[in-house]
Structure 1
Amino acid sequence: MTRYTDDELNRELENLRKPFEPTPARKRAMRQAVFSAKQPSPAKRILHWQPLLVSFILLIGIISATTVLIGKPGASVNGWFAKDVTDSWSGMIMEQTSRNDVISYYIVFQENNLHIENTNVSETFMGNVNITQAEAEKMAEEHQAKLAKLTMQPGDYPDYTVKKKNDLYTITIPGENGFSYTLEKTAPRQFTGEDGITYSVNNYTE
């Protein structure tokens, strides 16, 4: 067995290492690859305030739309923003002041009853001696047909409400034969109905 001195042993190890040692060019390439490697981009920060901002914008939109709808002329008085003034209207008498060939309203607001009366006596056919019986009956039918188209029908209604929003007042009768009729207050004791009929009242209203 051949014995090696220390120097000979080091030379042999050096010779064995050389095939595995990278060339200078390869060392430069590896160094560039390490230092020029793309750094990982920081994770995007989740903005938790975005859902809150969207909800706030939607809330503002809803409030704006509601305000516009409520403020529209002729908008329904019934709803969250209407005030029930039924009790303060008890004892009120409302009488039609405009002329109408079909109806002349006389309305009495009582504590537990709303009385609507038609005081119009049509002189166009009743007691007219210049028309035949058939003509009178035809005119009476036409008169009744016009009456049937009116929103407020004469009668007594034990259950009713009056609601106010600004200068608009809505009378509501519930039930199958009920109706809603809106009045606009044009003066302290003057009103105009949704159909253009004008009224006066005996007392100042809330």
Structure 2
Amino acid sequence: MLDADFFRRWMTATAASVDREAERLTALDSAIGDADHGSNLQRGFTAVAAELDKETPATPGAVLVLAGRKLISTVGGASGPLYGTLLRATGKALGDAPEVSEAEFAGAFRAGVDAVTRLGGAAPGDKTMVDALVPAVDALGDGFAAARTAAEEGAAATTPLQARKGRASYLGERSIGHQDPGATSVALLVAALAEADAK
């Protein structure tokens, strides 16, 4: 069973990973976006980790709702609302249970992914974070390591695609040949889930 401490570890591991990879995310974003994805997410998840140091939400859902709210309030661009919606919707779907099973989390995470696709209007193949989120949530039933692999493969598979949503879509064919930064940061988020599980 997964408790609030597990979800705090997930957010802390994500913050550390985004911190390490911020320059790479920004470099990817400079090719097809605003060159701010890494710095924006770094600011957001640093704020989430600091908030979780001050507050200790009692349930898995409360941890994720707090994290989502903090991302929406601190991250500029599209990534704040999208990541914030992902975590808030997942947290709300978990409800007030003090512990949740991996299957319950997988169902709640799917609700979060669905909320992101509604907000952003993106589908798999559009060269967005959805290209890593959907394979990850589809693989969650096989465990966190399987989800991590699926997210990483989904992110890599965005490279040959032409962007159909988001800022990169303005580039048309020039977006081809660049890995999507949003899908890449989703792979970090899902890898951090596997890391939290290993501790």
Is this a same-fold pair by TM over 0.5?
A: no
Q: Which has the larger radius of gyration?
A: 1
Q: TM-score by structure 2 length?
A: 0.28
Q: RCO (CA 8 Å, sep 6+): is it higher in 1 or 2?
A: 2
Higher strand share: 1
Q: TM-score by structure 1 length?
A: 0.28
